[in-house]
């Protein structure tokens, strides 16, 4: 696999505004940033589908995860760069490599702020406050265009959408919950195959309504179950919704 993306910044905050996972044809085959850009000119041909996660925890190749890459010498904001491979990307690659070789998988996030261990932190309180102002002229703490999804105008390439942005929303973060549910509602109206993992807590329709989508990443005993769950989703074409034991 190869990972590419585009970082953007506003003052002292970094956002990952675009990201793609390329599933290599074989171990020897590699593509360049120029190849990526050419492929993106024909998204309908080359992008197989979209994965939605919670927020990015990524670093450009040659850099470590940082809250402000400019301080570490990064100077390629707003252009495509290669991104370090991570265990999270390995989980995704394992799910896609059977049927999607030679294809791009677009990775999108509820929040594009590039920061590890974002939950739970005061940042989520700020996101929740921002979303209360999102459709107004009021200023937000985090960049409106860089950090948040313009849901009514979202454009998605490919045939499938995998929701894996999580299910544990703090009940006090009412605007974050509404935001996630709005995204689910809107995407489910599009001409896409929408898939996700769920457990015994809710059936598939309830998950769509509540934006209850298990993350493919976990720790402890759930780590292998989640990784196997996403493999099961993409074992077939078209992919399917999978229920796993909790």
How confident is the model over 62-77, as pLDDT tens digits? Answer: 999 998 999 999 999 9
List, in order, residues 6 or more apart from 36 with CB less than 8 Å away.
4, 20, 22, 80, 104
Q: How confident is the model at residue 135 (pLDDT cuts 50, 70, 90)?
A: confident
Q: Residue range 173-199: average pLDDT? A: 97
In 3D, which of 158, 206, 191, 172 has the Cα closest to residue 52? 158
**How far apart, in whole angstroms, are the C-alpha atoms of residue 84 and residue 89?**
9
List, in order, residues 6 or more apart from 181 with CB less than 8 Å away.
209, 210, 211
List, in order, residues 6 or more apart from 150 with CB less than 8 Å away.
none
Q: How confident is the model at residue 120 (pLDDT cuts 50, 70, 90)?
A: confident
Q: Could you tell me the CA-to-CA distances from 220 to 29, 133, 201, 224, 225 in Å, in that order?
A: 34, 38, 20, 8, 10
The predicted structure's pLDDT at residue 121: 81
List, in order, residues 6 or more apart from 138 with CB less than 8 Å away.
none
Give the total number of structural domains in the chain. Answer: 1
The β-bridge relationship of strands 13-22 and 104-109 is antiparallel
**How far apart, in whole angstroms, are the C-alpha atoms of residue 23 and residue 93?**
7
Q: Which residues pair with 20 in a beta bridge?
A: 4, 106
The predicted-structure confidence for 197-217, as pLDDT tens digits, reads as follows 999 999 999 999 999 999 999
Q: Residue range 156-162: average pLDDT? A: 97
In 3D, which of 44, 3, 39 has the Cα closest to residue 21? 3
Domain that holds residue 70: 2-243
Q: What's the half-sphere exposure (Cβ side, CA atoms, 13 Å) at 148?
A: 25
């Amino acid at each position: 696999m190869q990972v590419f993306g585009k970082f953007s910044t506003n003052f002292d905050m970094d956002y990952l505004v675009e990201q793609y996972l390329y599933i290599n044809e074989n171990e020897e085959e590699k593509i360049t940033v120029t190849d990526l850009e050419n492929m993106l000119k024909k998204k309908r041909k080359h992008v197989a589908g979209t994965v939605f996660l919670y927020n990015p925890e990524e670093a450009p190749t040659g850099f470590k995860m940082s809250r402000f890459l400019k301080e570490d010498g990064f100077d390629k904001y707003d252009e495509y760069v290669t991104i370090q491979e991570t265990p999270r990307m390995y989980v995704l690659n394992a799910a896609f490599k059977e049927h999607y070789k030679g294809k791009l998988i677009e990775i999108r996030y509820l929040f594009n702020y590039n920061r590890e261990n974002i939950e739970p932190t005061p940042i989520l309180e700020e996101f929740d406050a921002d979303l209360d102002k999102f459709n107004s002229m009021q200023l937000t703490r985090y960049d409106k265009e860089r950090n948040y999804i313009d849901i009514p105008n979202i454009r998605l390439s490919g045939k499938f959408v995998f929701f894996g942005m999580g299910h544990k929303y703090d009940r006090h973060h009412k605007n974050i919950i509404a935001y996630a549910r709005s995204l689910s509602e809107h995407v489910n109206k599009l001409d896409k195959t929408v898939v996700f993992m769920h457990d015994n807590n809710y059936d598939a329709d309830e998950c769509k309504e509540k934006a209850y989508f298990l993350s493919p990443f976990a720790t402890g005993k759930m780590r292998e179950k989640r990784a196997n769950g996403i493999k099961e989703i993409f074992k077939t074409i078209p992919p399917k919704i999978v229920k796993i034991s909790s």
